[in-house]
Structure 1
Amino acid sequence: MNPTWNQQLIKKENKTIVLQLIMQNAPISRADIALKSGLNKGTVSTLVAELIEEQLIIETGPGVSSGGRRPVMLVFNENAGSTIGIDLGVNYILGILTDLQGNIIEKKRHSFNPTSFEHTMKQIHEDVQELISKAPKTPYGIVGIGVGAPGIVDNNSSVVLAPNLGWKNSFLKEGIEEAFQIPVIIENEANAGAYGEKMFGLGKSIDNLVYISTGIGIGTGIIMNEKLYRGSSGFSGEFGHMTINMNGETCRCGNKGCWELYASEQYVIQKALKLQLVSDENANIDQIIELAEHENDTAIELLKETAIHLGMGIVNIVHALNPQKIIVGNRLAGAKPWMEQIVQKYVKNRAMTSHQNEVKVQFSDPSFPATALGVAAFSVEHFLKRSLEKIYPTS
C-alpha cells in the first residue's frame, strides 16, 4: 500500500528536523538526535541512513561513551556541493564560492560601473563562470546562485525597482538561470547582508538586529525573532528613503531629502569633490579613507559629519524597531576609526533612554562579505528544501 499524503509530509518534516539538528549540533549521535527531537530511535536510524545515502551527512569517529559502546557521531557533509553568492553593488561586484556551510572557497571582487542592464548581466555571467571553474568536484555540484541586488526585490525574486542602477522590473533571475541552468535566488542586498551577519558575523547570538548597508545608497535588513523580516510584499527595510531633510535635494527614488543623500558613500564622494579633496569623477570612498589615514583634517571632518547624519537615521530606527544590535556594513564600514564612536555617541545622546540602553551600534569589518554570504546561505537552504521535497513530494 502506498503511503498517504500525511505520512509523506510527516516523514519529510521529521527528516528536516533530523538534518537541522545535525547541522546545528554536529558532531551528534543518533541517540542524542532522538533525545532532542522526541523521535523514537528506530525512526531516527532510518532517516539518518537515508541522509547518509544521499551524501548530505557523514559518519565521523566515535564520540564519548556514557556507558557501553561509544556512539558513532554524525556531521553535515559541507562538501556535498557548492554555492555562489554575488553582491551586486552600484560601483562594484563581489562574488564568492562557498561550501554548504558558508566556508569561502574562492572570492572575487572588482570595481564595476554599469552602463546598462545588459552590461551588468554580461559581467555577472563572466564572474559566475569564473567561480564555477574554480569549484571542486562534489556530489551535487553548484546547488544554487544567489544575488544581492541594491533595490526593491519582491517575494518572487524580481527586481521591481533599483533606482541607483536605473532598473525597473528587470528580469535578473531569469537571465542567470537561462545561462547556467542552476536555481537562482535574488534578494535585496541589505536583507542578504542582515542574514549574512546573523549566520556568520556580528549577529550570531542576536535575535533582533538591523543591518545598515552603506554604499552609494543606504539599505537596511531587519532580523526579528531570529528571522528575516521582509514585509507583506518583500519590500521592507527602505529606511534609506526616509526623509531627514524636508527641503532637501531630490533623490533618485523621487522623494526629497532622503537619508541616503546625507549618510552614504555618494554623499562623501560628492562633498569631497566640492571640497576638492579628490578631482576624479570616478572617485570612491577608499580615496577619502586613505586621506584620513594620512591625517588630512578635511577628510576626517567630512567623515565625522557623515557619521552625524548616519546617527540621525539610526536614532529613528532605534525608536521604530527597538533592536538589540545595529550593524553598519558595506563601504562606509571602512571608515570605522573616524565614524563608529561618533555614531555611538549620537545615538546615546539622542535616542530615548528606554531604547538606547538596549541597543548596541557596531561597524562590521569592511572585508566581511555579508551580502554574498547571505545569498549563498539562502541558496543552500533552498537546495536542501528542494532535496527533501523531491524525495517526498507533498502534492
Structure 2
Amino acid sequence: MSRYLFVVPPLVGHINPLVGVAAELADRGHQVAWAGQPDVVHRLAGQDARVFPSPASWTDGVPRPADIRGPEALRFLWERFLVPLADAMAEGVRGAVEVFRPDVVVADQQAVAGGLVAERLGMRWATSATTSAEFADVLSAMPKVAAWNDALLDELRRRIGAPDGTADPRFSPHLVLAFTTEELAGPPARGGDRIRWVGPSLTARPSPAGFPWEWLDPGRATVLVTLGTANTDVGRRFLTECAAALRARADRMQAVIVDPEGVLGTGSPRGDAAHRGEDTRDAQQDKDLLAVPVVPQLALLGHVDAVVCHAGHNTVCESLWHGVPLVVAPIRDDQPVIAAQVADAGAGVRVRFGRATEARVGAAIDAVLYAPGYRAAARAIGSAFRSAGGAAAAAAHLEQLARDRNEEDSV
C-alpha cells in the first residue's frame, strides 16, 4: 500500500480529472489525501476526502479585465493568480507532506507549489496536466516573454523551493500525466518521454436537480452552448448571438444554453447555487431553447449532436469522448491552443469569440452538424481517448512511480 498526496488549485476543471484517479487508487487499497482549498475539494471529491488546507480559503482578489489577451493575459495569470497562489499554498503543502508522509506527490500544473515543495523535500512527484496547452511551448516564438516567465519561476523557487533546484514545476522529471492523447494534442514540444497519455479521466459527479430531460426533442438535433465556469463575465454578447443563430434554425435543431448569470432572461443569477450542486430549475424554456444556470454535462453529452464552447480543455475532451463535434470560440489562457488542436484534428470549427455573430456562429454549427468529416474525426478521437485508459491508466503509472521510489530507498 502506498500514499498519494494530490496538490490542486481551487479550479474545478483541474480537480475533476484527479477525482477519478484518487478513487481508483483508493479502490486498489492505497491511501489518498489532498492539499488544496477544502470546500472546493470536498464538493468535488466527496465529504469523506482527507484534505489538508492549503490554503484554507483563497481568492485572487483582483478581477481579471475582460478584454486582455495574449502576453498581457499570461502576465496577469502568473503575477495575479499562479504566483500568489503558490506562495499561499507552500506552507500547507509542506505541512501535508510532513503529516501524511506520501510516497508520491501529484501536483497540478497550476498548483506549482506542489512541484517546488516536493523537489525541495526530495520527494518523488508527478505532474497532473489537465490541459495539453503547456506541451505546445507557445512561448518559444516569444523569447522575451519566455525569459520573463522563467525569471518569475526562478524567484518563486528561491522563496518556496530548492534554491539549487532545476525542475520546471509544470513538468515533473519523473512522470507527467496528460489527460488527453496525441490524436488531439499532437506531438509534444515539451515533456518528451516523461509524458503518459492517459486520456480523459471521467467519473460520476454531483448533478444539479431538475434538469428537464423530457424537453429534449428526439426529432431535432440538440446543440449545447457553454462557456464553462469562469467566463460568465464576458459571455453576454456571445450567448445572445448563439441563441439567435439557433432560434433561426429551430425547424431542425434545439438549443441548451448554460447561462449562469441569466443574461438570456433566466431571472436572478443562480451561478453560486449551481456550483454547489443545488436545484437549478430557474430557467428560460420554450420548445426551441432551454437556458439554465448549469447542466449535468457528462450525462447530457450523450444526448447532444454538437457543442459550442470556449475551448476549455475539460469541455472539449468530454465532448470528444462522446464523439460530439465542436464549435470552439477561445477567450484566453490555454483556450486558443486547445481550439487550434480541435481544428487541426478536424473535429470542429474555430470562430473568433470577439467577432462572433449570429451568421458566423450559425454557419459553424451547420458545418459541424452537416458537413462530412467533423463527426467522424470526433468519434476517432473519442475512440483513442477510451483506449488510453483514463483514471485506471493514470493510477497504474502512479503505482509504478511509488514502486520505483520504494526500490530506490531499499538499495
TM range (shorter): 0.3 to 0.5
Provide TM-score, normalisation by structure 2: 0.34
Larger radius of gyration: 1
Q: Which has the higher strand share?
A: 1
